[in-house]
Amino acid sequence: MPSYTAPTRDAKFILNEVLDVASYGNLPGFQSATPDLINTVVDESGKFAAAVLAPLNQVGDHEGCTRHPDGSVTTPTGFKAAFDQYVEAGWSTLTAPEEFGGQGMPHVLGSVLEEFISSANQSFGMYPGLTQGAVSAILATGSDEQKALFAPRMIANQWLGTMNLTEPQCGTDLGLIRTRAEPQGDGSFAITGTKIFISAGEHDLAENIIHLVLAKTPGAPDSSKGISLFIVPKFLVGDDGSIGERNAVQCGSIEHKMGIHGNSTCVMNYDGAKGWLVGEEMKGLAAMFIMMNAARLGVGIQGLSQAEVAYQNAVAYARDRRQGRALTGPADPAEKADPIIVHPDVRRMLMDAKAFTEGMRALVLWGGLLVDLTHNAPSEEERGQADALLGLLTPVIKGYGTDKGFDTAVNMQQVFGGHGYIHEWGMEQFVRDARIAQIYEGTNGVQAMDLCGRKLASKGGAAIQAFFKMVDDEVAASDGELAPLAEALGKAVGEQKAATMWFMQNAMANPNNLGAGAHHYMHIMGVVCLGLMWLRMAKAAAVRVADGDGDGAFYQAKLTTARYFFERFVPDVGALRRKIETGAEALMALDEDAFLTAA
């Protein structure tokens, strides 16, 4: 059975020494977030995830969720009890606003918690995880009455939430939605339609489920401009929060999926269910993006989380499993064979994973901090800058993070040889679970287009220029032993600038030139972002090494891994740029029939 230990030391290093969260103590929410409290939250959340949730991960995979003839759904053995513990320990309220019963802690701490929970049990984490997005949408666009009624109960996870977007004919292109909302004259709407792939659509964890549903009102334009967002509770509720009658929404079936079996992914049938508009009619797409952006950061964390837990288990296996001898001569002559961690190709996979997960953790937590700054930075200008940067990073965290997260899980499975292919070892579950993160909340192709088609161009390219300046400044400020790392990062960002310029010069003439390179560009920016993180981490570590810090091995490993990152990740950037610069011509040249198999 696989094991999991929350990487609390690394999280604390990033929070305290790289991001210096304590330096934001003047901002709302950060006052109470002293280093001591930060460390306690990190340690306790790590313990909870490892002790309570990790042991249920394989159970969830094997059992899956069970739909009963009446449409009710039972989660896997142990999930309900673990969920009650989660709620009781107060994890659900950690970063929620105090006004609605939350603890008001910085969002960046929530990102730590999210990683640990998702590493321990990705399927479990999705139940409370999706609720957060639903709460965000209600808080951002709901009426005061809706906020008062739903937010406290959802934040307390007394009720959970869902996001109902996808329909059989409609995924990325929400303009194709067919679900209808008919006004009933009493302020409510009758919602009718079928939604698919609804994570946590039905389950036994909470007393109510609050569905946020996209639908079209009569006469609305037949495009994404005609979409409205509705609250559709599983059980109707009184103004006092009392549970009333069952609404006309049912789980029609549970999808048979490649992974995340512990989460009930449902087909939801709305048959004139009572719903209430959230925000303005036909402004549903904007409200949806509030949920979606929060969810995308969460999905990026899932990429990290599966890479991390897979890495930990691969390390343990590589230290334990003995096959063959080190190329430089027996490392352990008393035994018949050496542990496979002596083999350079095994090391390569482990070092790739270490360089990715630690760099990605820093990026994810930086993203979490930017969420805080978006809300709480002192000036509107600073809030706007944080928002623009976060907008730029979100598709990278989601797209690059989950592509590399999946690749890393696959490589960690590879360390196990044949045993990696066998259920009992748990590695193949990490791969199957990690796979979904590249797909949902907008496929990674959609992320790439969001980055290149929307975020790069937004406000005349202000965000990407600010990002370039930030990287350039970091490079310029790094000397001494950091100089070689800075030089490599400077080269990488130079390639990104060139690719950006190429888009500017060629996308106008033919927008396919942008589309044909967007995925590669997202990966270039992923490497540059991780490079920026590694340079900052190396800087923080170098200070401590110079100080002769007692935890010297930890900091020395940071410096070595930073060097490895720049050696082994950065060369890809040039190759990706050259691919981008080949443009769309050959890529789009074939007639569609030329793809058919000729007999």
Nearer to a second copy, 377 or 525 (CB): 525
- Does residue 584 interact with a second copy by CB under 8 A? yes
Residues contacting a second copy: total by CB under 8 A: 113
Q: Which residue, 31 or 582, is less far from a second copy as judged by CB?
A: 582
The 40-79 site mask, x for binding a second copy (CB under 8 A), equals: ---x--x---------------------------------
**Cβ closer to a second copy: 114 or 428?**
428
Q: From the candidates 115, 441, 474, 495, give the one annotated as an active-site residue.
A: 441
In the complex, least distance from residue 384 CB atom to a second copy, rounded to whole angstroms: 29
Stretch that binds a second copy, among 376-384, 462-470, 494-502, 554-562 (CB under 8 A): 554-562
- Contact residue for a second copy among 144, 239, 240, 593 (CB under 8 A): 593
The piece of 15-23, 29-37, 179-187, 407-415 that touches a second copy (CB under 8 A) is 407-415
The site string for a second copy over 373-402 (x = CB under 8 A, - otherwise) reads ------------------------------
Give 114 or 433: the residue with its C-beta nearer to a second copy. 433
Torsion of CA 256, 262, 263, 264, to 10 degrees: 50
> Is 441 designated active site?
yes
Stretch that binds a second copy, among 131-139, 379-387, 415-423, 529-537 (CB under 8 A): 415-423
Coil vs helix vs strand at 241 = coil
Task: Pull the structure tokens for residue 231.
Answer: 């609250």
Dihedral Cα 526, 527, 531, 537, nearest 10 deg: 60
From the list 295, 336, 339, 332, the residue with the least C-alpha distance to 317 is 339
Considering only residues 317 to 376 of the shown chain, the ones binding a second copy according to CB under 8 A are: 318-319, 322-324, 327-328, 336-337, 339, 341, 343-351, 354
d(CA 231, CA 278): 7
Interface mask (CB under 8 A) for a second copy, residues 233-272, using x and -? Answer: ----------------------xxxxx-------------
Alpha carbon distance 156, 241 (integer Å): 13
The one segment of 147-155, 280-288, 542-550, 585-593 that binds a second copy by CB under 8 A: 585-593
- What is the end-to-end Cα distance of the chain in Å, rounded? 48
Judge whether 74 and 142 are in contact, CB under 8 Å: no
In angstroms, give the least distance from the CB of 195 to a second copy.
Answer: 12
- Cβ atoms within 10 A of the Cβ of 398, count? 34
Nearer to a second copy, 290 or 341 (CB): 341
CB of 183 or CB of 324, closer to a second copy: 324
Give the pair of three-digit tokens for residue 522.
């997202």
Report, in Å, the least distance between residue 312 CB and a second copy.
5
- Strand (E) or helix (H) holding 151: helix 144-155
**Using CB atoms within 10 A of its CB, is residue 423 exposed (0-12), middle (13-18) or buried (19+)?**
exposed
Rule CB under 8 A: say whether 153 interacts with a second copy.
Answer: no
- Tell me the two tokens of residue 232: 């559709």
Instruction: Figure out which of the listed residues 243, 439, 466, 545 binds a second copy, where binding follows CB under 8 A.
Output: 439
In the range 477-496, which residues lie near a second copy by CB under 8 A?
none
Where b means 16+ CB within 10 Å and e means fewer, 18-45 reads bbebeebeebebbeebeeeebeebbeeb
**Residue 390 has which token pair?**
């976060």
Lay out the site mask for a second copy across 2-21 (x = CB under 8 A, - = otherwise): ---xxxxxx-----------
Tokens of 170: 């409609």
The torsion defined by the Cα of 385, 108, 520 and 495, in degrees rounded to 10, comes to: 60
- Provide the pairing of β-strand 265-278 with 189-199: antiparallel
- Region 185-204 residues binding a second copy, contact defined as CB under 8 A: 196-197
Instruction: Decide: is 525 part of the binding site for a second copy (CB under 8 A).
Output: no
3-state secondary structure string, 520-560? Answer: HHHHHHHHHHHHHHHHHHHHHHHHHHHCCCCCHHHHHHHHH
Q: Does 550 bind a second copy (CB under 8 A)?
A: no
Pick from 170, 236, 248, 286 the residue near a second copy by CB under 8 A.
Answer: 170
The residue within the footprint of a second copy, chosen from 59, 140, 190, 315 (CB under 8 A), is 315
Cα separation of 51 and 55, whole Å? 7
CB of 575 to a second copy, least distance (A): 4
Minimum CB separation of residue 254 from a second copy in Å reads 11
Using CB under 8 A, which residues numbered 493 to 522 contact a second copy? 510-512, 514-516, 518-519
- Write down the least CB distance from residue 536 to a second copy, Å: 19
- The reply to whether 165 sits near a second copy by the rule CB under 8 A is no
For residues 4 and 50, the answer to whether their CB atoms sit within 8 Å is: yes
Residues 106/372, Cβ–Cβ less than 8 Å: yes
Catalytic residue IDs: 441
